Amino acid sequence: MTDASLAAVLRAKGLRLTAQRQLVLEAVHELGHATPDQVHAKVAEVAAGVNITTVYRTLELLEELGLVTHAHLTHGAPTFHPVGEAQHVHLVCQNCAEVSELPSAFLAPLAESLDREHGFLLDIGHVALFGICAGCGDNRG
């Protein structure tokens, strides 16, 4: 279905379905959230010849097509993940760098009050919350 919808969206814009595009989209789905570099590595497992440049171009394209989005999780590294799955918030542990996910419903009250009190429309999927995760925080008091 991933490939089918990719083909459809591409065709609708007069663009072409290529092996590279399928592989990049698959990699993003399999990795969950990954940097361009990680996507490239994943793709390279199957097709070693694919260039990092192509990965960048393809991620940008897939984002325009609405098939993936990116968020800014760790230091300067944009990470890409599939659209269409349930929206989620990213929790980034500053100690172990572990990224976990939270249903976006968790931010619904915040989103509502931001809108009501500040007129700010929160883009929930793009949010990353930093802090110390349960595992690392166990060492406290």
Contact residues toward its own copies (CB under 8 A) are 72, 75-78, 91, 93-94, 102, 106-107, 109-110, 113-114, 118-123, 126-134, 137-138, 140
Q: Of the candidates 81, 83, 67, which has an alpha carbon nearest to the alpha carbon of residue 10?
A: 67
Half-sphere exposure of 138 (CA within 13 A, CB side): 4
Restricted to residues 1-20, the positions that interact with DNA (CB under 7 A) are 7, 10-11, 14-20
Instruction: State the number of binding residues for DNA (CB under 7 A).
Output: 27
Q: Is 68 helix (H, G, I), strand (E, B) or coil?
A: strand
Residue that is written with structure tokens 């199957």 in the block: 46
For the bound state, the minimum distance from the C-beta of residue 27 to DNA, rounded and expressed in Å, comes to 13
Nearer to DNA, 13 or 137 (CB): 13
State which amino acid sits at residue 125.
G
